[in-house]
Structure 1
């Protein structure tokens, strides 16, 4: 009997025909509580939408409102086919260096003179290409200066389609990371790149050639205004050609940026204003 009573009690809790209650509430009670939660969640959604709208009004589509700008921008090298900063190949084995030349072809194809002439300006060198806004009137889209592939001369891949890899005189391309609004020098002195071997390999690196001359990042490519504001921006490059590096040995190399208003990076951040990599050119199996 107790079991029948318990069963009857559960049935009445779910639906009580005498009081016409479902799960302990009448229809009007369920209607009121559902109405309360409906109004409550509509209010929360409206408050969230209003908050997002107000916040978005403070943002600029073309420029970050806040920037955690590094005092010293990072540097990278190309070609780079994996996560390691190592370029190792055998002069006699085309398949060992073909991936490097393909990577450089892909990097430099947007820098073809015809492409640059179509998209970008022929700017005045050795001075910043400033394009300020006029109050609330945005000067967008902003123009960009041409960086022609031919400026890399022996490392352009035009005369030598293999960038020197086939004869043990490879080219390496250096890029300085983009930083919005950065003016990388003062007093008209353009930043430039220098490369050298680590102390233990100082007698192995041999002679270097820099393109453009002196390995400079010309001032006309700065400041950078951002991907949306400067859609055709062509990042300046510096190429280093190794003329007679010691073969069949690891040579550890470091390249760094030199500028009178960019501080030297710390040992705690190896990509702060410099980049290190290993170069090994084998001539024997």
Structure 2
């Protein structure tokens, strides 16, 4: 029994000595000077790593443009989208509650295009790029919603939805520095044997070059991209039938037939109007 008690005391004493040995002044097997040297080493080591990381980040940031992403290979060509923000438009023309949200979406989207707000912008000459590379504060070309005529929501606040001939606004996504060649315009077709009658505003679905290039959200804070309104002239035979419509950017070097991306330079949506 005495031997067992002595061994237990020795183990407890050795454990205590490992934590702190009063004879040698060691704490967890090291003296205070040893711990100080280790702490100093890691302080210098991690300080050096932090300094290297900070310097590397600073050098990298010097190569970046504050307003333009360095690599934009995935958005070299813009996509198309429509307003109202739905690719499946279905409603009964005699029921305001069914098309009310579509009208509200269009009105909200066109708020920045109000003629009174656009008066503050610059009337740009048609057909030429509005380059402002050497100008610090970029100006914005006027695009008044009145240009959209029957689809402006000014004379007809329902945008044609109440009469069963709805307006669809087609817009091209913004791409910094884009200068489309040729004469870009929007062209829409219905995927059926017989053509569907449509009206375009502005005429011929034109996307004028004066709205390009775009310089980014910071430099071009009040920029509004050009839109094309497509009025679907549905007749009695078109009602109660789901129509699949495809709109593309034509007449330029912009891509519009990439099978891997159905929104690249084109957009497909469905419309069904009931009487």
TM-score by length of 1: 0.90
Q: Aligned-pair RMSD on alpha carbons?
A: 1.5
Q: CA deviation at 1:260?
A: 3.2
1:179 corresponds to 2:187 = no
* 1:128-156 alpha-carbon deviations (Å, 9 max, x no partner): 111123xxxxx222111011110111101
Is the 2:198–2:232 Cα contact (8 Å) retained in structure 1? yes
2:49 to 44, 47, 56: 44
Give the match for residue 252 of structure 2: 260
CA distance in 1, matches of 2:43, 2:101: 61
Residues 147 and 7 (structure 1 numbering): CA distance in 2 closer, same or farther, change over 3 Å? same
Give the match for residue 136 of structure 2: 140
Is the 1:74–1:273 Cα contact (8 Å) retained in structure 2? yes
Unpaired runs of at least 5, structure 1 = 134-138
1:243 corresponds to 2:233 = yes
CA distance in 1, matches of 2:49, 2:155: 66
Q: What is the number of equivalent residue pairs in this alignment?
A: 268
Q: CA deviation at 1:218?
A: 0.6
Alignment of 1:61-140 (within 5 A): 61-68=66-73, 70=75, 72-81=77-86, 85-118=87-120, 120-133=121-134, 139-140=135-136
User: What's the secondary structure of 2:252's corresponding residue?
Assistant: coil
TM-score by length of 2: 0.93
Over 3 Å off, 4+ runs: 69-72
* 1:13-34 alpha-carbon deviations (Å, 9 max, x no partner): 1111111111111111111111
Largest Rg, 1 or 2: 2
Give the match for residue 34 of structure 2: 29
